[in-house]
Amino acid sequence: MENFVFHNPTKLVFGKDTVEKIGEELRKNGIKKVLMIYGGGSIKKNGVYEKVVRSLHDNGITKVELSGIRPNPVLSKVHEAIAVAKKEQVEAILAVGGGSVVDSGKAIAAGYYYEGDIWDAFIGKYAVKKALPLYVVLTMSATGTEMNGNGVITNEETLEKLGFGSKYVYPVVSIVDPTVQYSLPRDQVVYGAIDAISHVMEHYFDVAGSALIDSIDEGIIRTIMSATEKVIEEPENYEARANLCLATTLALNGLTKMGTTGGDWSSHDLQHPLSALKPEVAHGAGLAVVFPAWMTYVRDLISEKLIKFGKNILNLGDDATAERTIDELRRWYKSVGAPITLKELGFTQEDVQKVTQIASKHAPLGKVKRLDTHDIESIYRIAYEF
Protein backbone atom coordinates (compact mmCIF):
# COMPACT_ATOMS: atom_id res chain seq x y z
CA MET A 1 0.00 0.00 0.00
CA GLU A 2 1.31 3.42 -0.97
CA ASN A 3 1.23 6.44 1.36
CA PHE A 4 -1.71 8.75 0.71
CA VAL A 5 -3.63 11.82 1.80
CA PHE A 6 -7.42 11.72 1.53
CA HIS A 7 -9.31 14.99 1.58
CA ASN A 8 -12.64 15.63 -0.10
CA PRO A 9 -14.21 19.02 0.59
CA THR A 10 -17.47 18.49 -1.34
CA LYS A 11 -20.70 18.44 0.65
CA LEU A 12 -22.95 15.73 -0.82
CA VAL A 13 -26.70 16.26 -0.41
CA PHE A 14 -28.30 12.97 -1.43
CA GLY A 15 -31.84 11.66 -1.69
CA LYS A 16 -35.44 12.40 -2.58
CA ASP A 17 -36.64 16.01 -2.88
CA THR A 18 -33.16 17.48 -2.47
CA VAL A 19 -33.06 19.55 -5.67
CA GLU A 20 -35.10 22.25 -3.95
CA LYS A 21 -32.29 22.73 -1.40
CA ILE A 22 -29.88 24.34 -3.87
CA GLY A 23 -31.01 27.90 -3.20
CA GLU A 24 -30.63 27.45 0.53
CA GLU A 25 -27.12 26.05 0.11
CA LEU A 26 -26.09 29.03 -2.03
CA ARG A 27 -27.65 31.54 0.35
CA LYS A 28 -25.94 30.00 3.39
CA ASN A 29 -22.60 30.54 1.66
CA GLY A 30 -23.33 34.16 0.84
CA ILE A 31 -23.83 33.65 -2.93
CA LYS A 32 -26.22 36.14 -4.51
CA LYS A 33 -25.62 35.76 -8.28
CA VAL A 34 -24.80 32.64 -10.28
CA LEU A 35 -24.13 31.58 -13.84
CA MET A 36 -26.49 28.63 -14.29
CA ILE A 37 -25.31 26.27 -17.04
CA TYR A 38 -27.09 23.27 -18.49
CA GLY A 39 -27.34 21.15 -21.62
CA GLY A 40 -29.95 20.63 -24.30
CA GLY A 41 -33.05 21.32 -22.27
CA SER A 42 -33.95 17.95 -20.74
CA ILE A 43 -34.04 19.62 -17.33
CA LYS A 44 -37.08 21.57 -18.54
CA LYS A 45 -38.86 18.31 -19.36
CA ASN A 46 -38.17 16.42 -16.14
CA GLY A 47 -39.04 19.31 -13.82
CA VAL A 48 -35.53 19.98 -12.52
CA TYR A 49 -35.29 23.41 -14.15
CA GLU A 50 -38.50 24.62 -12.51
CA LYS A 51 -37.42 23.34 -9.10
CA VAL A 52 -34.00 24.97 -9.33
CA VAL A 53 -35.35 28.31 -10.55
CA ARG A 54 -37.98 28.39 -7.82
CA SER A 55 -35.40 27.55 -5.17
CA LEU A 56 -33.10 30.31 -6.40
CA HIS A 57 -35.94 32.84 -6.42
CA ASP A 58 -37.15 31.87 -2.95
CA ASN A 59 -33.65 32.40 -1.57
CA GLY A 60 -32.97 35.70 -3.30
CA ILE A 61 -30.44 34.33 -5.78
CA THR A 62 -30.10 36.06 -9.16
CA LYS A 63 -29.19 33.87 -12.13
CA VAL A 64 -27.70 34.28 -15.59
CA GLU A 65 -28.40 31.28 -17.85
CA LEU A 66 -26.26 29.58 -20.47
CA SER A 67 -27.59 26.44 -22.15
CA GLY A 68 -26.36 24.24 -24.98
CA ILE A 69 -23.54 22.32 -23.30
CA ARG A 70 -23.34 19.07 -25.22
CA PRO A 71 -22.15 15.57 -24.35
CA ASN A 72 -18.37 15.43 -24.76
CA PRO A 73 -18.24 19.17 -23.94
CA VAL A 74 -16.15 21.49 -26.06
CA LEU A 75 -13.66 24.25 -25.35
CA SER A 76 -15.45 26.88 -27.45
CA LYS A 77 -18.51 26.67 -25.17
CA VAL A 78 -16.26 27.01 -22.13
CA HIS A 79 -14.76 30.16 -23.66
CA GLU A 80 -18.24 31.55 -24.29
CA ALA A 81 -19.33 30.84 -20.72
CA ILE A 82 -16.21 32.41 -19.19
CA ALA A 83 -16.89 35.60 -21.16
CA VAL A 84 -20.50 35.67 -19.90
CA ALA A 85 -19.44 35.00 -16.31
CA LYS A 86 -16.92 37.84 -16.39
CA LYS A 87 -19.31 40.27 -18.05
CA GLU A 88 -22.08 39.51 -15.55
CA GLN A 89 -19.67 39.40 -12.57
CA VAL A 90 -21.24 36.27 -11.15
CA GLU A 91 -20.17 34.93 -7.77
CA ALA A 92 -20.48 31.21 -8.49
CA ILE A 93 -21.15 28.63 -11.20
CA LEU A 94 -24.26 26.47 -10.87
CA ALA A 95 -24.02 23.36 -13.05
CA VAL A 96 -27.36 21.60 -13.56
CA GLY A 97 -26.94 18.42 -15.56
CA GLY A 98 -24.67 15.44 -16.03
CA GLY A 99 -20.93 15.02 -16.18
CA SER A 100 -20.44 17.14 -19.29
CA VAL A 101 -22.15 20.13 -17.69
CA VAL A 102 -20.25 19.73 -14.43
CA ASP A 103 -16.88 19.32 -16.19
CA SER A 104 -17.64 22.47 -18.19
CA GLY A 105 -18.49 24.22 -14.94
CA LYS A 106 -15.08 23.33 -13.52
CA ALA A 107 -13.28 24.74 -16.56
CA ILE A 108 -15.40 27.88 -16.46
CA ALA A 109 -14.79 28.34 -12.74
CA ALA A 110 -11.04 27.91 -13.23
CA GLY A 111 -10.96 30.18 -16.28
CA TYR A 112 -12.76 33.04 -14.58
CA TYR A 113 -9.62 34.33 -12.86
CA TYR A 114 -7.15 33.36 -15.59
CA GLU A 115 -6.18 35.92 -18.20
CA GLY A 116 -4.90 33.34 -20.68
CA ASP A 117 -6.68 30.45 -22.40
CA ILE A 118 -7.93 27.94 -19.84
CA TRP A 119 -6.84 25.20 -22.26
CA ASP A 120 -3.40 25.87 -20.78
CA ALA A 121 -4.57 23.99 -17.66
CA PHE A 122 -5.29 20.93 -19.78
CA ILE A 123 -1.91 20.87 -21.52
CA GLY A 124 0.16 21.52 -18.41
CA LYS A 125 1.05 25.17 -19.04
CA TYR A 126 -1.03 26.55 -16.16
CA ALA A 127 -1.68 25.31 -12.63
CA VAL A 128 -5.03 26.58 -11.40
CA LYS A 129 -4.52 28.93 -8.47
CA LYS A 130 -8.05 30.22 -7.94
CA ALA A 131 -11.56 29.44 -9.14
CA LEU A 132 -15.13 30.55 -8.68
CA PRO A 133 -17.09 28.30 -6.29
CA LEU A 134 -18.97 25.56 -8.13
CA TYR A 135 -22.36 24.15 -7.13
CA VAL A 136 -23.96 21.11 -8.74
CA VAL A 137 -27.43 19.68 -9.24
CA LEU A 138 -26.72 16.31 -10.84
CA THR A 139 -29.19 14.82 -13.33
CA MET A 140 -27.17 11.82 -14.54
CA SER A 141 -24.83 9.64 -12.48
CA ALA A 142 -21.77 8.41 -14.34
CA THR A 143 -18.53 10.31 -14.11
CA GLY A 144 -18.28 10.99 -10.37
CA THR A 145 -17.38 14.58 -11.24
CA GLU A 146 -19.91 15.78 -8.66
CA MET A 147 -17.43 14.88 -5.92
CA ASN A 148 -13.95 15.36 -7.33
CA GLY A 149 -11.61 18.00 -8.72
CA ASN A 150 -11.23 16.66 -12.25
CA GLY A 151 -12.72 17.70 -15.58
CA VAL A 152 -12.45 16.68 -19.24
CA ILE A 153 -12.98 18.95 -22.27
CA THR A 154 -12.56 18.50 -26.02
CA ASN A 155 -10.62 21.03 -28.07
CA GLU A 156 -12.44 20.94 -31.42
CA GLU A 157 -9.55 22.57 -33.26
CA THR A 158 -6.86 20.08 -32.24
CA LEU A 159 -9.19 17.07 -31.81
CA GLU A 160 -7.76 16.54 -28.34
CA LYS A 161 -9.93 15.46 -25.42
CA LEU A 162 -7.92 16.11 -22.26
CA GLY A 163 -8.46 16.39 -18.55
CA PHE A 164 -7.24 18.68 -15.79
CA GLY A 165 -7.39 18.52 -12.04
CA SER A 166 -7.28 21.03 -9.23
CA LYS A 167 -8.28 21.22 -5.59
CA TYR A 168 -9.91 24.56 -6.39
CA VAL A 169 -12.65 23.07 -8.60
CA TYR A 170 -14.12 20.52 -6.21
CA PRO A 171 -17.84 21.38 -6.03
CA VAL A 172 -18.76 23.15 -2.82
CA VAL A 173 -22.11 21.36 -2.75
CA SER A 174 -23.44 18.62 -4.98
CA ILE A 175 -27.09 17.62 -4.89
CA VAL A 176 -27.97 14.12 -6.09
CA ASP A 177 -31.67 13.20 -6.20
CA PRO A 178 -32.02 9.70 -7.71
CA THR A 179 -35.68 10.31 -8.61
CA VAL A 180 -34.81 12.89 -11.27
CA GLN A 181 -32.98 10.13 -13.16
CA TYR A 182 -36.06 7.93 -13.56
CA SER A 183 -36.64 9.18 -17.10
CA LEU A 184 -33.09 8.70 -18.40
CA PRO A 185 -32.86 6.64 -21.61
CA ARG A 186 -31.50 3.12 -21.19
CA ASP A 187 -28.29 3.82 -23.11
CA GLN A 188 -27.40 6.74 -20.85
CA VAL A 189 -27.90 4.55 -17.77
CA VAL A 190 -25.76 1.77 -19.26
CA TYR A 191 -22.95 4.03 -20.47
CA GLY A 192 -22.92 5.86 -17.16
CA ALA A 193 -22.59 2.58 -15.31
CA ILE A 194 -19.73 1.41 -17.53
CA ASP A 195 -18.00 4.76 -17.09
CA ALA A 196 -18.14 4.33 -13.32
CA ILE A 197 -17.01 0.69 -13.46
CA SER A 198 -14.06 1.81 -15.57
CA HIS A 199 -13.09 4.44 -13.00
CA VAL A 200 -12.87 1.76 -10.34
CA MET A 201 -10.95 -0.60 -12.62
CA GLU A 202 -8.33 2.06 -13.35
CA HIS A 203 -7.44 1.89 -9.65
CA TYR A 204 -8.11 -1.84 -9.18
CA PHE A 205 -5.49 -2.70 -11.81
CA ASP A 206 -2.98 -0.20 -10.45
CA VAL A 207 0.55 -1.43 -9.83
CA ALA A 208 -0.05 -0.92 -6.09
CA GLY A 209 -3.02 -1.18 -3.76
CA SER A 210 -4.38 -2.95 -0.69
CA ALA A 211 -6.71 -5.82 0.14
CA LEU A 212 -9.10 -3.43 1.87
CA ILE A 213 -9.43 -1.06 -1.08
CA ASP A 214 -9.70 -4.03 -3.46
CA SER A 215 -12.69 -5.22 -1.42
CA ILE A 216 -14.26 -1.77 -1.61
CA ASP A 217 -13.63 -1.69 -5.36
CA GLU A 218 -15.24 -5.08 -5.81
CA GLY A 219 -18.27 -4.05 -3.78
CA ILE A 220 -18.77 -0.88 -5.81
CA ILE A 221 -18.53 -2.71 -9.14
CA ARG A 222 -20.87 -5.50 -8.02
CA THR A 223 -23.36 -2.89 -6.84
CA ILE A 224 -23.20 -0.98 -10.12
CA MET A 225 -23.74 -4.13 -12.16
CA SER A 226 -26.66 -5.47 -10.14
CA ALA A 227 -28.30 -2.05 -9.77
CA THR A 228 -27.97 -1.39 -13.50
CA GLU A 229 -29.71 -4.67 -14.31
CA LYS A 230 -32.53 -3.78 -11.90
CA VAL A 231 -32.90 -0.20 -13.15
CA ILE A 232 -33.15 -1.43 -16.75
CA GLU A 233 -36.09 -3.62 -15.68
CA GLU A 234 -37.63 -1.13 -13.24
CA PRO A 235 -36.58 2.48 -14.00
CA GLU A 236 -38.44 3.81 -10.96
CA ASN A 237 -37.10 1.32 -8.43
CA TYR A 238 -35.79 3.86 -5.93
CA GLU A 239 -33.46 1.58 -3.97
CA ALA A 240 -31.76 0.30 -7.13
CA ARG A 241 -31.51 3.81 -8.57
CA ALA A 242 -30.15 5.22 -5.30
CA ASN A 243 -27.55 2.47 -5.01
CA LEU A 244 -26.46 3.10 -8.60
CA CYS A 245 -26.19 6.86 -8.03
CA LEU A 246 -24.20 6.52 -4.81
CA ALA A 247 -21.90 3.85 -6.24
CA THR A 248 -21.01 5.99 -9.24
CA THR A 249 -20.15 8.87 -6.94
CA LEU A 250 -17.94 6.69 -4.74
CA ALA A 251 -16.25 5.30 -7.85
CA LEU A 252 -14.27 8.52 -8.33
CA ASN A 253 -14.38 10.62 -5.17
CA GLY A 254 -10.91 9.52 -4.04
CA LEU A 255 -12.02 6.50 -2.03
CA THR A 256 -10.81 3.87 -4.51
CA LYS A 257 -7.55 5.76 -5.09
CA MET A 258 -6.27 5.30 -1.52
CA GLY A 259 -3.09 3.25 -1.32
CA THR A 260 -2.57 3.17 -5.10
CA THR A 261 -0.13 5.08 -7.27
CA GLY A 262 -3.08 7.01 -8.72
CA GLY A 263 -4.42 4.49 -11.22
CA ASP A 264 -3.31 3.35 -14.67
CA TRP A 265 -5.67 5.52 -16.79
CA SER A 266 -4.37 4.41 -20.17
CA SER A 267 -7.82 3.06 -21.08
CA HIS A 268 -9.30 6.51 -20.54
CA ASP A 269 -6.47 8.07 -22.52
CA LEU A 270 -7.26 5.64 -25.33
CA GLN A 271 -10.99 6.34 -25.18
CA HIS A 272 -10.75 10.12 -25.33
CA PRO A 273 -9.53 10.20 -28.95
CA LEU A 274 -12.57 8.13 -29.95
CA SER A 275 -14.97 10.80 -28.68
CA ALA A 276 -12.74 13.59 -29.95
CA LEU A 277 -12.89 12.15 -33.48
CA LYS A 278 -16.56 11.13 -33.22
CA PRO A 279 -18.34 13.31 -30.61
CA GLU A 280 -21.45 11.13 -30.84
CA VAL A 281 -19.55 8.28 -29.16
CA ALA A 282 -20.49 8.28 -25.48
CA HIS A 283 -17.58 8.00 -23.06
CA GLY A 284 -18.96 4.83 -21.49
CA ALA A 285 -19.55 3.25 -24.89
CA GLY A 286 -15.94 3.83 -25.86
CA LEU A 287 -14.69 2.44 -22.56
CA ALA A 288 -16.76 -0.73 -23.02
CA VAL A 289 -14.72 -1.33 -26.17
CA VAL A 290 -11.27 -0.11 -25.13
CA PHE A 291 -10.88 -1.37 -21.57
CA PRO A 292 -11.23 -5.10 -22.37
CA ALA A 293 -8.85 -4.59 -25.31
CA TRP A 294 -6.28 -3.06 -22.94
CA MET A 295 -6.81 -5.96 -20.52
CA THR A 296 -6.14 -8.40 -23.34
CA TYR A 297 -2.95 -6.60 -24.40
CA VAL A 298 -1.47 -6.45 -20.87
CA ARG A 299 -3.05 -9.71 -19.69
CA ASP A 300 0.20 -11.36 -18.63
CA LEU A 301 1.03 -8.39 -16.39
CA ILE A 302 -2.32 -8.41 -14.55
CA SER A 303 -3.32 -12.07 -14.74
CA GLU A 304 -3.56 -12.59 -10.96
CA LYS A 305 -5.74 -9.51 -10.57
CA LEU A 306 -7.92 -10.56 -13.51
CA ILE A 307 -8.53 -13.94 -11.88
CA LYS A 308 -9.41 -12.20 -8.59
CA PHE A 309 -11.77 -9.89 -10.51
CA GLY A 310 -13.40 -12.91 -12.13
CA LYS A 311 -13.88 -14.72 -8.84
CA ASN A 312 -14.99 -11.85 -6.61
CA ILE A 313 -16.98 -9.71 -9.06
CA LEU A 314 -18.12 -11.91 -11.95
CA ASN A 315 -18.80 -15.03 -9.82
CA LEU A 316 -16.63 -17.31 -11.96
CA GLY A 317 -15.35 -19.23 -8.94
CA ASP A 318 -12.56 -21.71 -9.50
CA ASP A 319 -13.20 -21.53 -13.25
CA ALA A 320 -11.83 -17.99 -13.36
CA THR A 321 -8.91 -17.42 -15.68
CA ALA A 322 -7.58 -14.15 -17.06
CA GLU A 323 -9.06 -14.89 -20.48
CA ARG A 324 -12.44 -15.96 -19.14
CA THR A 325 -12.68 -12.87 -16.95
CA ILE A 326 -12.22 -10.61 -19.96
CA ASP A 327 -14.73 -12.62 -21.98
CA GLU A 328 -17.30 -12.51 -19.17
CA LEU A 329 -16.90 -8.76 -18.71
CA ARG A 330 -17.48 -8.22 -22.42
CA ARG A 331 -20.46 -10.58 -22.29
CA TRP A 332 -22.01 -8.49 -19.50
CA TYR A 333 -21.41 -5.28 -21.42
CA LYS A 334 -23.16 -6.79 -24.44
CA SER A 335 -26.02 -8.10 -22.28
CA VAL A 336 -26.92 -4.59 -21.14
CA GLY A 337 -26.72 -3.21 -24.66
CA ALA A 338 -23.23 -1.74 -24.89
CA PRO A 339 -20.99 -2.04 -27.97
CA ILE A 340 -17.90 -4.22 -27.64
CA THR A 341 -15.97 -3.43 -30.85
CA LEU A 342 -14.84 -0.28 -32.64
CA LYS A 343 -16.72 -1.52 -35.70
CA GLU A 344 -19.97 -1.30 -33.75
CA LEU A 345 -19.13 2.32 -32.93
CA GLY A 346 -18.75 3.10 -36.63
CA PHE A 347 -14.96 3.28 -36.79
CA THR A 348 -13.05 2.22 -39.88
CA GLN A 349 -9.50 0.96 -40.33
CA GLU A 350 -8.55 4.47 -41.41
CA ASP A 351 -10.05 5.83 -38.20
CA VAL A 352 -7.81 3.49 -36.20
CA GLN A 353 -4.81 5.25 -37.70
CA LYS A 354 -6.31 8.65 -36.85
CA VAL A 355 -7.04 7.87 -33.20
CA THR A 356 -3.60 6.28 -32.86
CA GLN A 357 -2.05 9.54 -34.02
CA ILE A 358 -4.18 11.57 -31.60
CA ALA A 359 -3.45 9.33 -28.60
CA SER A 360 0.25 9.11 -29.42
CA LYS A 361 0.65 12.86 -28.96
CA HIS A 362 0.64 12.19 -25.22
CA ALA A 363 2.51 8.87 -25.16
CA PRO A 364 3.77 7.04 -23.25
CA LEU A 365 0.48 6.21 -21.51
CA GLY A 366 -0.32 4.20 -18.40
CA LYS A 367 1.59 2.59 -15.55
CA VAL A 368 0.97 -1.15 -15.75
CA LYS A 369 2.72 -1.00 -19.12
CA ARG A 370 4.05 2.23 -20.58
CA LEU A 371 2.30 2.35 -23.94
CA ASP A 372 4.12 3.73 -26.96
CA THR A 373 2.68 4.31 -30.43
CA HIS A 374 3.04 0.65 -31.40
CA ASP A 375 1.23 -0.46 -28.22
CA ILE A 376 -1.52 2.08 -28.73
CA GLU A 377 -2.20 0.95 -32.28
CA SER A 378 -2.12 -2.70 -31.22
CA ILE A 379 -4.79 -2.11 -28.56
CA TYR A 380 -6.99 -0.24 -31.02
CA ARG A 381 -6.55 -3.13 -33.47
CA ILE A 382 -7.71 -5.58 -30.81
CA ALA A 383 -10.68 -3.32 -30.04
CA TYR A 384 -11.51 -3.10 -33.75
CA GLU A 385 -11.51 -6.83 -34.48
CA PHE A 386 -11.93 -8.59 -31.10
CATH code for position 257: 1.20.1090.10
Q: Is residue 68 domain-resident?
A: yes
- Domain check: are 320 and 267 in the same one? yes
Q: Is residue 269 domain-resident?
A: yes
- Domain check: are 288 and 357 in the same one? yes
Q: Work out the angle between the directed axes of helices 211-233 and 303-312 (0-180°, nearest 10).
A: 50
Q: Residue 245 contacts by C-beta under 8 Å, 6 or more apart in sequence? A: 14, 141, 176, 178, 181
Q: Is residue 335 domain-resident?
A: yes
- Residue 256 dihedral angles phi and psi, to the nearest 5°: -75, -10
Q: Check whether 342 has a pLDDT greater than 90.
A: yes
- Residue 57 dihedral angles phi and psi, to the nearest 5°: -60, -45
The per-residue pLDDT for range 351-374, each reduced to its tens digit, is 999 999 999 999 999 999 999 999
Q: Work out the angle between the directed axes of helices 186-204 and 266-277 (0-180°, nearest 10).
A: 150
- Domain check: are 170 and 52 in the same one? yes
Number of other residues whose CB lies within 10 A of the CB of residue 296: 19
Fill in the amino acid letter for 164.
Answer: F
Q: Work out the angle between the directed axes of helices 373-385 and 283-297 (0-180°, nearest 10).
A: 110
- Domain check: are 192 and 70 in the same one? no
pTM of the entire structure? 0.94
Inter-CA distances, 123 with 118, 208, 259, Å: 9, 27, 27
Domain that residue 343 falls in: 185-385
- Tally the domains of the chain: 2
- pLDDT above 90 covers a percentage of the chain that reads 97
The per-residue pLDDT for range 1-49, each reduced to its tens digit, is 999 999 999 999 999 999 999 999 999 999 999 999 999 878 998 899 9
- Domain check: are 152 and 281 in the same one? no
Span 141-157, average pLDDT: 96
Inter-CA distances, 258 with 6, 127, 270, 312, Å: 7, 23, 24, 20
- Domain check: are 154 and 237 in the same one? no
